[in-house]
Amino acid sequence: MNLGEKIHHLRKLSGMSKEELASQITVSRQAISKWELSESIPDTDNVVQLCKLFNVSADYLLNDDVESDMDIPVVRENSEKLKKRYQLIVLCILMGVFLISVVVFGFLTQSIMYAIVGAIFIVCFGLGLLFVKVFRKNQKNR
């Protein structure tokens, strides 16, 4: 898609008329029409306003080869890192809930063995998380 097609697409996705978009960025409706028809292009200030309004990057808006922000290598790489980090966080939370439930089960059933084993696992789990955090911090400092 070219710039005009992207502006048109984003405007339609947002449910805005040309008049509404024009008033949002203080240009005329005719300017919006010309941009969408690729008869003219917005100036730098208007591109910045469009990016903010539609929550897209200037790379996406101005680069015809970029169909989404995920096509930008840096965005894709950061997105994959965040996805892995969130998966790890969810896994840690689930593991913590499981271990705490083992301890609670041990106390409720008055099985001291479950409580002790669960407590040991919780301590080991916490130490493991601490170790990973310190290890990553040392890796970043190198």
Is the pTM of the predicted complex or chain greater than 0.85? no
If one compares 99 and 41, the residue with the highest pLDDT of the two is 41
Sorted by where each begins, the domain ranges of the chain are: 3-69, 73-141
Q: What is the pLDDT of residues 20-78, one digit of tens each?
A: 999 999 999 999 999 999 999 999 999 999 999 988 888 888 888 777 666 555 556 76
Answer with the residue of higher pLDDT: 51 or 91. 51
Fold of 3-69: 434 Repressor (Amino-terminal Domain) (1.10.260)
- Looking at per-residue pLDDT, the higher value among 8 and 122 belongs to 8
Closest C-alpha to 33, from 25, 49, 24, 21: 21
